[in-house]
A = this chain, B = another copy of it.
Amino acid sequence: MQAGRLSWKDVREAIHEWILSGRYGPGDKLPRDADIAVELACARSTVQRAMQDLSDSGIVERRRKGGTRVRQDPVVRATLDIPITRREIEDRGGLYDYRLIERSFGKPPRAVRIAMNLSDAPDMLRIEALHLCDGRPYIFEDRWVCTTTAPNILKVDLSRDSANEWLVRNAPYTRFEVKFFALNADQRTAELMATTPRSALLAIERTTWLDDRPITHVTAIAAPGYRLLSRS
């Protein structure tokens, strides 16, 4: 960085500081980008970048002509990375193992059709599989794959390669939806996860689409003690 120049991150911090210090409180209107640029002696484009970042972080709200104001009701905006399960386990230093439990065809249940936003219900590939960390159940996945959108999955030997990994690598999506919730283990899930019935388990439900055609819907149920983490 050239000496004396402010980077857009410096500008972001300066403006954030104004907000933290109360110079501009929730709901207050900030000066126009151009005026801030003059005050801080930098280019408007630098202020623009800084403001865009503050806007992305949910700290300010920007509207054309309306200007920039500090958000009334700040939100905590958390970014979560959900990696491939094998990767996640290996990154924790665990030994990954995978077991296919079921592979079949059929009509998905109503809940899955609703999640996929489908009215009619074509037959889909259904996969149940278990991901293990150091030999212990880690994540159980119950998946439906739309074979019209991702026909190549039919050629994959799912007893060797997990659908999780294959899809992420071979069926890129343009849109997705994720839900997190807690559920009590039923008899079967408890057995699969080597825990007791009614144990609280974290479920991560994901649906992906390629444009408007659904690719897959998966309910990933994590072992007891599983924690999803997001920083900064």
Contact = CB atoms under 8 A, between A and B. Distances in A.
Contacts of A174: 16, 20
Interface residues of A, number: 50
A198 B198 contact: yes
A177 B87 contact: no
Contacts of A5: none
B75 A78 contact: no
B181 A226 contact: yes
B168 A74 contact: yes
Nearest to A77: B81
Interface centre among A16, A200, A201, A202 (most CB of B within 10 A): A200
A73 to B, nearest CB: 5
A229 B179 contact: yes
A75 B86 CA distance: 12
Interface in A172-224: 172, 174-184, 198-203, 206, 210, 222, 224
A232 B176 contact: yes
Given A181-B228, A184-B198, A202-B181, A73 B77 contact: no
Given A74-B169, A75-B81, A76-B82, A199 B184 contact: yes
B20 A172 contact: yes
A181 to B, nearest CB: 5
Interface in A151-186: 168-169, 172, 174-184
A20 B198 CA distance: 42
A231 interface: yes
- List 5 tightest A-B contacts by C-beta distance, closest first: A182-B182, A200-B200, A182-B200, A76-B82, A180-B228
7 contacts: A73-B87, A75-B84, A76-B168, A175-B232, A177-B229, A181-B225, A182-B202
